[in-house]
Amino acid sequence: MDKMDQKRFDRPNAGFSVVELLVVLALIAVMAGVTLFYTSAHKKLYQPDEQALQILDMMQEARQRALTQRRTMRVEVNLATNTVKLYDENKDATTSSDDFLVRSFNMFSTTNVKVNPRPSEIGYTPPETMPVPDAVFKTSVYTPSISQSVCTIRFLANGTAVDAGTNATGAGAVPTGVTLYIWSPNKTDNTKSDIARAITVLGPTGVIRFWEFDHSSTNTNKWKDSRRSS
């Protein structure tokens, strides 16, 4: 065995010491923690938009189903259960027993995202072509949500959007516009918003629009049409 081979034979196996491994693991843990922190903050930042788009998508689906299937579709924004649900009321307008749930989703925690009333720093509605009143949450007359605080929007086969009416079959319903606000509360004053969005529904036509509030704008009305409409 020559001297070079002897050196290779005598040299201990290469590897990390326990201290080096602990240092590496500690660095990985710190980096993972920082990544998780910023990911969570980023996710919360976009929750108002995500929730608003979910509601918008459900309303648009309700309108399209009403027009194509020729029957009434009902959207319920329920503050008691923090859910949004789409119901097909079927063709028989004389009974509510054949209504069935098409789909639903849970809204985000009200700590992160609020749905109505309008944030306190905003004193006006989006600039629609006609006045669109704020959404009204009242005691539901429909069996699945009976006695709960619900904003009910019903899309009819003729293209109009109407309110809940006076009973579970929608008797006495009238065309009505709705402005629904979705916003994240400010950290120092939870009556004000960091991010504010709105969905408008025009009663006579059932047209739905999505609006974004630009806090930095110098315009008198800071609501901007996002161009996501139907």
pLDDT value for 10:
52
Q: What is the pLDDT at residue 26?
A: 76
pLDDT at residue number 41: 47
State residue 27's pLDDT score.
78
Domain ranges of the chain: 43-229
Question: Is there a contact between 74 and 86 (Cβ–Cβ < 8 Å)?
Answer: yes
Encode 156-187 in three state secondary structure: CCCCCEECCCCCCCCCCCCECCEEEEEEEECC
CATH topology of domain 43-229: minor pseudopilin epsh fold (3.55.40)
CB 113 within 8 A of CB 107: yes
pLDDT at 13 over 80: no
pLDDT number for residue 75: 98
| pLDDT tier, 45 (very low <50, low <70, confident <90, very high otherwise) | low
Amino acid 227: pLDDT: 77
pTM above 0.85, yes or no: no
164 or 228, which is more confident:
164
Mean pLDDT over all residues of the chain? 87
pLDDT on residue 192: 96
Question: pLDDT tens digits for 74-125?
Answer: 999 999 999 999 999 987 878 888 899 999 999 999 999 999 889 999 999 9
